[in-house]
Structure 1
Amino acid sequence: MEYDGILLGMGNPLLDISAVVDQDFLNKYEIKPNNAILAEDKHLPMYDEMAAKPTVEYIAGGATQNSIRVAQWMLPFPGATSYMGSVGKDKFGEEMKKNAQDAGVNVHYYEDETAPTGTCAVCVLDGERSLVANLSAANCYKVDHLKRPENWALVEKAKFYYIAGFFLTVSPESIQLVAEHAAANNKIFSMNLSAPFICEFFRDPQEKALPYMDFVFGNETEARTFSKVHGWETDNVEEIALKISQWPKASGHKRITVITQGADPVVVAEDGKVKLFPVIPLPKEKLVDTNGAGDAFVGGFLSQLVQEKPIAECVRAGCYASNVIIQRSGCTYPEKPDFA
């Protein structure tokens, strides 16, 4: 099988500004623990405040880009992954490109001249992360960039696609183009619920893309929000995963729903049945931060999916990748995986 460019991701490339904060900091900026939100005006001063902290780290991030980097790390094939999104023409954009290319990802960024590269404040308290994204240039992605021959070639070459739900806030038109291409060409299209606010406030574009999704990823909070928004009147994650998997479909593939629940088992709904897969236990003292845990899970999962491994093996790889990531700061990993 030809692995060159087999997996394509599209999303919001963000430079993570990661630092350990205290409860007062979260209170000051009205940030809930373990949540992901878009920055409002009241949040803007926090970026400088975090940049001034002695513990600050800069890491190439953005949900989809994280997953694609992790998938590439776990794949024994150089150049297996590609990625598109929008950055600014600035040093952060250059830094991000270098970081992604060093990770072996073939990045085709749209470079916006009007806005700086997007950043994401990663506020770490007791190992839990809260994300506040200031999209900036990431918000400027244009479908015209996707349609350029050299970029559309990446779409045609790929057989698997992954897009985090966050991209629904930026370019639903690009998502639909790729989704329809996947359905028409018998390829695999997957997305992530990504955050409660996506399910609540971007319900229409999410529902438009849903029939094309062969895999739906998410965590238990997002799944419960999805259920509430759709009036399902259940908080039972297994039930919700099943209902999502049975949503009407636009392509010939069945849909598989994969919901992570932190330290609790991973829920997989497929063919009208639910299976639970235990995660790798980790003593509390080994937890560094949960930033990128869900992204890493998806990356690990996709690394096996593109090799046509069974779902159980995809989940095992996802659990392995997230276990590695939560023992390190940000979505970073050692030079080589030891996943056997």
Structure 2
Amino acid sequence: MPAKIVVIGSLNMDLVTRAPRLPRAGETLIGESFATVSGGKGANQAVASARLGAQVSMVGCVGSDAYGEQLRGALLAEQIDCQAVTAVEGSSGVALIVVDDNSQNAIVIVAGANGLLTPEVLASFDAVLQAADVIVCQLEVPMQTVGYALKRGRELGKTVILNPAPATGPLPAEWYSAIDYLIPNESEVSALSGVPVDSLESAERAASQLMAVGAGKVIITLGAQGSLFAHGQSFEHFPAPKVKAVDTTAAGDTFVGGFAAALAAGKSEADAIRFGQVAAALSVTRAGAQPSIPLLSDVQAFAAS
């Protein structure tokens, strides 16, 4: 049986515009295209884990609007268990995304129904958590819910992964003991550690700062520079596969989902990181969030080429 992964987090409808560049404050640009695409960090990571070989359950909230039905339907189409995706009154979460000609993006998120994923809602699906091998969380749902999920995951003896996105400052100190793998990107690790990250050397300093306050194993995703795996006194750099980027949206989510799927399937940490990096590299060669996430067969073919 495939490894079981439970993703606790957000489901958003992404409203994606492409423009020559990102707008400056007060500026109006003429866009090149517009699309609505199922997204949200939680849902993206669930889809990535499912496409990359895992058996996945999603825990989250959607609104009573048309977006809610579409978001749930997109997960069901990936054979993701949605018994813990709860419909609540009001609007679903949305993300307003602008992608420029250099494939960089700027994103504004409105939580909507994601803000109603409370610890009480999560507790009502404890059987789903108990059935998991790996629990994956992010920060697009209420912080108290994330804290509850991390603590409960540790109580149940599960492998716990936190992708601290979006991060605006340090994490609660008591969280670190419940996290097996902390996976931030450059901007997130800068916010968490207070160390500006723009190189491998500064990434090592930031990881050291996080481990000094209680973090165990830290994987910093560095875009085209690959990733840095920090644990104990060791630092290991994994260069990124070379590809031509079209859209970086959901690349980090694809890495997290791929890493989780590979780790849950029994791969070593290093092999799981490499697997996640190939999946993320393939995702940036395609537009959109969930539409860009590759299949297991795509990753296997790329690795064999």
- Whether TM-score is above 0.5 comes out as yes
Question: Which stretch shifts more, 259-268 or 237-246?
Answer: 237-246
Per the TM alignment, residue 133 of structure 1 is displaced from its structure 2 partner at its CA by: 0.5
Deviations 1:237-256 (A, max 9, x none): 1122233235437xxxxx21
Task: Pick from 174, 178, 181 the counterpart of residue 212 of structure 1.
Answer: 178
1:153 aligns with 2:127: yes
**Residue 337 of structure 1 aligns to which amino acid in structure 2?**
S
SS in 2 for 1:279: coil
Task: Pick from 190, 194, 202 the counterpart of residue 228 of structure 1.
Answer: 194
- The 5 A counterparts of 1:26-105 are 26-28=24-26, 55-75=33-53, 80-105=55-80
1:140 aligns with 2:123: no
Q: Aligned pair in 2 of structure 1 residues 269, 89: CA closer, same or farther (>3 Å)?
A: same
1:243 aligns with 2:209: yes
1:298 aligns with 2:267: no
Q: How many residues align?
A: 293
1:165 aligns with 2:139: yes
Distance in 2, matches of 1:261 and 1:311, equals 17
Distance in 2, matches of 1:93 and 1:269, equals 38
Per the TM alignment, residue 185 of structure 1 is displaced from its structure 2 partner at its CA by: 2.8
Instruction: Note the residue ranges of structure 1 that are not aligned, 5 or more in a row.
Output: 30-45, 250-254
Q: Aligned pair in 2 of structure 1 residues 334, 160: CA closer, same or farther (>3 Å)?
A: closer
Task: Pick from 2, 7, 10 the counterpart of residue 9 of structure 1.
Answer: 7
Per the TM alignment, residue 161 of structure 1 is displaced from its structure 2 partner at its CA by: 0.7
1:191 aligns with 2:162: yes
Q: Aligned pair in 2 of structure 1 residues 336, 272: CA closer, same or farther (>3 Å)?
A: closer
Q: Aligned pair in 2 of structure 1 residues 336, 271: CA closer, same or farther (>3 Å)?
A: closer
Per the TM alignment, residue 314 of structure 1 is displaced from its structure 2 partner at its CA by: 0.7
Mapped contact 1:242–1:257 kept (Cα < 8 A)? no
**Residue 296 of structure 1 aligns to which amino acid in structure 2?**
T
Residue 277 of structure 2 is matched in structure 1 by: 319
Q: Aligned pair in 2 of structure 1 residues 258, 27: CA closer, same or farther (>3 Å)?
A: same
**TM-score (normalizing by structure 1):** 0.79
Distance in 1, matches of 2:165 and 2:258, equals 17
Instruction: Note the residue ranges of structure 2 that are not aligned, 5 or more in a row.
Output: 301-305
Per the TM alignment, residue 179 of structure 1 is displaced from its structure 2 partner at its CA by: 2.0
Residue 303 of structure 2 is matched in structure 1 by: none
**Residue 199 of structure 1 aligns to which amino acid in structure 2?**
T
SS in 1 for 2:274: helix
Distance in 2, matches of 1:106 and 1:247, equals 36
**Sequence identity percentage:** 20
Q: Aligned pair in 2 of structure 1 residues 26, 92: CA closer, same or farther (>3 Å)?
A: farther
Deviations 1:176-203 (A, max 9, x none): 33222222232111112213xx332xx4
SS in 2 for 1:218: coil
Distance in 1, matches of 2:78 and 2:219, equals 26
Mapped contact 1:66–1:292 kept (Cα < 8 A)? yes
SS in 1 for 2:91: coil
Mapped contact 1:67–1:298 kept (Cα < 8 A)? yes
Mapped contact 1:297–1:319 kept (Cα < 8 A)? yes
How big is the alpha-carbon RMSD for the aligned residues of Structure 1 and Structure 2? 2.5
Deviations 1:279-299 (A, max 9, x none): 0012xxx32111111111111
Question: Which stretch shifts more, 317-326 or 182-191?
Answer: 182-191
Residue 122 of structure 1 is matched in structure 2 by: 97
SS in 2 for 1:110: strand
Distance in 2, matches of 1:23 and 1:98, equals 33
Distance in 2, matches of 1:56 and 1:297, equals 25
Mapped contact 2:256–2:276 kept (Cα < 8 A)? yes
Task: Pick from 226, 229, 234 the counterpart of residue 268 of structure 1.
Answer: 229
Residue 43 of structure 1 is matched in structure 2 by: none
**Residue 85 of structure 1 aligns to which amino acid in structure 2?**
G
Per the TM alignment, residue 335 of structure 1 is displaced from its structure 2 partner at its CA by: 5.7
Distance in 2, matches of 1:287 and 1:229, equals 28
Task: Pick from 150, 168, 182 the counterpart of residue 153 of structure 2.
Answer: 182
Q: Aligned pair in 2 of structure 1 residues 227, 181: CA closer, same or farther (>3 Å)?
A: closer
